[in-house]
Amino acid sequence: MKYERIEKAVFRERPNRFIAYVDLNGTRETVHVKNTGRCAELLVPGAVVYIQKSENPQRKTKWDLIAVEKGSRMINMDSQIPNQVVREWIEEGNLFEDVALIKPETVYENSRFDLYVEAGERKIFIEVKGVTLEEEGVCRFPDAPSERAVKHLEELIRARKEGYESYVFFVIQMKDVRYFTPNIDTHPVFGETLKKAKASGVKILAYDCAVEPDSIRIDCPVDVVLESPRLKETVKPLVEWYRGHKRDLPWRKHMDAYRVWISEIMLQQTRVEAVKPYYARFLSELPDVKALAEVPEDRLLKLWEGLGYYNRARNLKQAACQIMEEYGGKFPETYEEIRSLKGIGNYTAGAVSSFVYNIPKPAVDGNVLRVVSRVLADGDDIAKASTRTKIERMIEEVIPRDAAGDFNQSLIELGAIVCLPNGEPKCEQCPVNSLCMAYCEGRQMDYPVKKRSAARRIEKRTVLIFSDGNEVAIRKRPGRGLLAGMYEFPNEEGYMNRRQVIEYAKEKGLAPVRIRKLPDAKHIFSHVEWHMKGYEILVDELEKKMNGEVIFAGCGELEEKYPMPSAFEVYYREAGAERKR
């Protein structure tokens, strides 16, 4: 859009919404203000403005106010121009293909939308909003309450439900801004309705403009932040902090999808330091998808032995087979394809796609839930799926397109080494403590809120090590349920005394020579605790006499061949075996 007859002047005052006084070449002139917003931060005495002379010599007010300088930024103030520049931009081939019709001021129900577009079979309504309010690079709308703007959003939602495509297009009438967000201080209802519109399928766009005293045109997309401007402000300091303070971890040395995937699955429910030796051993034997797809299950479980949650390992193998069959052995490269793999949820898909491919998808784990809850002083229960979904939505909205992986990892890293659970978080070391509401309120330990889980069920068990001095008896657990497919020492529910152990051994066809009481042990699963008592039963000729589906294994075989869960760690050592890390 090009203006003619533009002159430079100096703003003096604005006695009402419609007119202002300026100095033009030493003469006081009355100008028409083509923007009924407050614009108080723009129209300050002494500001350089640009005015356009009317083509109508009979008009009482001969000048229109077009633009103003605010520091080094040129801002177009003409509220009648955004519709025109959007129309010109679409006519140039932007946003839609095969445009057959662009019609201004089109009535729908009780509203008049700024533009109606037909492109092929598509029928599209566009409501255009000019934005001139800017503070520290953040643009907001409206600068005054606007019930009309809320009504337009509600009508766009209705149009979307009836099959039309619906857009809100915020024209940022200036250049070099950081992001756009609704002005909830001035009109919170507009902000809530805008979020509702997005959730219903209305597309929310914001573009800045290249502005000169005599021209304006749509230029570049601007990030739209509807959920949390505070979270958006953490992006730059967190990314910078992460790049300077990240830990030296083995899976960060070669950032390929397979390695990240393996590490992320291992790190679920397991500490970083505990994972390191398992990760190295696993990759040494299974360096790629093909090797993982072909490994026998017993060997896979042996490599996983001690990490727990063994279905994770089985799901890895199934996903590897899926990659071989569906993607020719090449790890998929889109979020949706990664998310479709067996055993991969939102977190792992977000981690792999952002860390490796820089796809702006969130990776929300417990660390991230804690960090965001504290930054926002959010009291919603993080154990609820709705809270996780909300935080995923907030993060996805602010992920920087040029640093998606580093931003996601910065949140995880901050939660792991600074924003700690339980004990005191290291708030003085936090790069975003000035933005953290919990810290500013002195309530760090009040967040996150997590409803106490139901008490775990206690299960008493007796573990029996039958040994002839060379081998011990083990058995394979069923293929489904807790610790499915793993190997174990014979064990029974309830506590047994020596007499009962002797009777049990005789039922298995054995004659005990000596019984030794072993230490008590406890193992905690997610929903049950095993409280165990153990006995070692020395017998003669174990292999020949013991009945039942058992395997006889020496210490070397226990260590190398048969995967046994860490629930039996105490008794594993009592049998003379040692874990290989």
Measured between alpha carbons, how far is 446 from 450 in angstroms, rounded to an integer?
A: 10
- Residue 109's contacts (CB-CB under 8 Å, 6 or more residues apart) are 155, 158, 159
DSSP label at residue 567: G
How many Cβ atoms from other residues are within 10 Å of residue 439's Cβ?
20
Give residue for tokens 């040029």: 402
**Amino acid identity for residue 407 in this structure:** F
H or E stretch including 543? helix 542-545
7 is catalytic: no
The two structure tokens encoding residue 125: 């309504």
Pairing of strands 472-476, 487-488: antiparallel
Residue 207: both structure tokens together: 């573009």
- Separation between Cα atoms, residue 338 and residue 41, nearest integer Å: 48
Return phi, psi of residue 246, to 5°. Answer: -65, 145
Q: Please report, as a single letter, which amino acid is at residue 180.
A: F
Residue pair 251/283 in contact (Cβ under 8 Å)? The answer is no
Catalytic residue among 29, 127, 134, 264: 264
The phi and psi torsions of 394 (rounded to 5 degrees) equal: -60, -45
**Which H helix or E strand runs over 261?**
helix 257-267
Residue 345 exposed, middle or buried by CB count within 10 Å (0-12, 13-18, 19+): exposed
215 secondary structure, DSSP code: E
Instruction: Give catalytic residue positions.
Output: 264
